[in-house]
Amino acid sequence: MSDNEEQVQQTQHAFLVAWGQFAREIGLVEGIQAVKLKQKNYHHAPQTKVLEFLVAILSGLKQLQEISLAAHPLDKDQAVAEAWGQPAWADYSGVSRTLSSLSWEEAHAIVGVLERVSQPFLEAELELIRSQGKRVGIDGDLTGIPVSNTSKTYPNAAFGHMDDEIQLGYQASVVSLLSPTYGRLWLSGAHHPGDTVSSTQADALILAAEARTGLRPMRRTDLLERRIAEHAKSLEAVLERLKTQQKSCEVAQQRLKQAQEQAIERLKELESVEQTYQARKRQERPTSQLALLRKRCQATQRRCKSRERACQTAQRKLTKTQARLALLQSELDALRQRLERFKQDNAANTNPIEAEFRLDAGFGAYHNIALLVEMGYEVYTKPHGHKVTQALRNKAQEPAAWTRVGDNAEMIAWSDLQLKGCPYPLDVALERFYTGKTLKHSALCHFGNDLATQDLPTWFNHYNSRQIIEAGIKESKQVFYLHRIKVRSEPAIFLQERMVLFAANFIRWATLWLAELAQPEENALDVRKLGVKRQVQVAAHVSAQVIRNSEGMLLKFSEHSAFAGKVLHLPGGDHPPHHKQKF
DSSP 363: G
Question: 379 and 315 in one domain?
Answer: no
Q: Which of 440, 465, 490 is the last residue of a domain?
A: 465
Question: 422 and 386 in one domain?
Answer: yes
Is the separation of the CB atoms in 405 and 461 below 8 Å? yes
Assigned domain for 369 exists: yes
Q: What angle do CA 359, 160, 533 make, to 5 degrees?
A: 60
Number of C-beta neighbours around residue 87 at 10 A:
11
- Where does 217-286 show beta strands of DSSP type E? none
Question: 315 and 426 in one domain?
Answer: no
Assigned domain for 154 exists: no
Report the C-alpha dihedral over residues 442, 448, 452, 453, rounded to 10 degrees: 80
| 3-state class (DSSP) for residue 550 | coil
Domain span at residue 378 reads 361-465
Is the separation of the CB atoms in 361 and 445 below 8 Å? no
Is the separation of the CB atoms in 129 and 180 below 8 Å? yes
**Cα→Cα distances 41→31, 44, 80, 96, 492, Å:** 18, 6, 21, 15, 19
Assigned domain for 251 exists: yes
Question: 250 and 306 in one domain?
Answer: yes
Assigned domain for 442 exists: yes
Cα gap 137→143, rounded to integer Å: 20
Assigned domain for 392 exists: yes
Global confidence as pTM:
0.87
Domain of 302: which CATH number? 1.10.287
Question: 340 and 395 in one domain?
Answer: no
Cα gap 219→159, rounded to integer Å: 37
258, amino acid identity: Q
Identify the CA nearest to 542 among candidates 550, 528, 530: 530
Read out DSSP for 304-361? HHHHHHHHHHHHHHHHHHHHHHHHHHHHHHHHHHHHHHHHHHHHH-SS---EEEE--G
Cα gap 444→22, rounded to integer Å: 43
479, amino acid identity: V
Assigned domain for 261 exists: yes
Question: 320 and 243 in one domain?
Answer: yes
| 3-state class (DSSP) for residue 552 | strand
Residues of the chain predicted below pLDDT 50: 1-2, 573-583
Which residues touch 412 (CB under 8 Å, ≥6 apart)?
A: 396, 400, 401, 402, 403, 429, 430, 456
Cα gap 282→309, rounded to integer Å: 38
pLDDT of residue 164: 84
Question: 424 and 329 in one domain?
Answer: no
Question: 424 and 365 in one domain?
Answer: yes
Identify the CA nearest to 573 among candidates 558, 553, 544: 553
Identify the CA nearest to 107 among candidates 204, 9, 37, 19: 37
Q: Which of 348, 373, 399 is the last residue of a domain?
A: 348
Question: 453 and 338 in one domain?
Answer: no
- Where does 132-182 show beta strands of DSSP type E? 136-146, 158-162, 165-179
End-to-end CA distance of the chain: 34
Assigned domain for 371 exists: yes
State the total domains in the chain.
2
Question: 439 and 406 in one domain?
Answer: yes
SS (H, E, C) 416-453: EECCCCCCCCEEEEEEEEEECCEEEEEEEEEECCCCHH
Question: 377 and 310 in one domain?
Answer: no
pLDDT of residue 398: 67
Number of C-beta neighbours around residue 283 at 10 A:
7
Assigned domain for 311 exists: yes
pLDDT of residue 399: 65
Q: Which of 465, 488, 514 is the last residue of a domain?
A: 465
| 3-state class (DSSP) for residue 113 | helix
474-490: b (≥16 Cβ within 10 Å) or e: ebbbebbbbbebbbebb
Which residues touch 181 (CB under 8 Å, ≥6 apart)?
A: 125, 128, 512
Cα gap 381→355, rounded to integer Å: 14
Question: 379 and 344 in one domain?
Answer: no
* pLDDT tens digits along 185-228: 999 999 999 999 999 999 999 999 999 999 999 999 999 999 99
Cα gap 83→74, rounded to integer Å: 13
